[in-house]
Structure 1
């Protein structure tokens, strides 16, 4: 099992990644934009969102930190500093991911039901009753 940190920014994730890669003297990984691959093909994306970062990551001292930009056209939740950090659990045990999701959603809010995505057979996001957002990913590779 791996635990990672996911940071979301208000349109300036590219600048943030450049800054942190310089500060920690680490290489930048490939950047995927929302224009490269839509999270939900049923939602029409505005042109301004297509160049925003959907995902990239830096390995900083052995910890994976992932970055993306907030996309107002794809969510009804506003960007607020403080709700832009989530914890990612990536595990090879599907039942474990399902169990975590069920427990964390009690008295919390499901952001994205567990579902198949282009990167995972099973992925979901939930904000627990304490306001912490968890992204749960079944890694079957």
Structure 2
């Protein structure tokens, strides 16, 4: 196996908005974005402006995402959480506050028994983010 596991998030018409949100919040650069209309790829007419593929990156941290041209299933985003090991408490607070806007706090950002500051937020797109910040010293 080569490299790390890269999260690949699926949206249903919200891909461009999500890419902008994550890029701004996480400080990611867009490596590339392609829409269905730009590719020789079968799609329904209403999906022409949907994101076929987007790659966002900052150093070794990467996210890929796309819009599905199919209708979403009822539980399409359950069972997976995205964990970020934060560099410091300030970064953890910044991400926590950004992700909870229009989202849902699942666990307050707090000190834990395992010696970290930890919180869990479901963002406005329905994805769950775990934020972990190991205590210094």
| Structure label with greater radius of gyration | 2
Length-normalised TM-score, structure 1: 0.47
Length-normalised TM-score, structure 2: 0.48
- Higher relative contact order structure (alpha carbons within 8 Å, sequence separation ≥ 6): 1
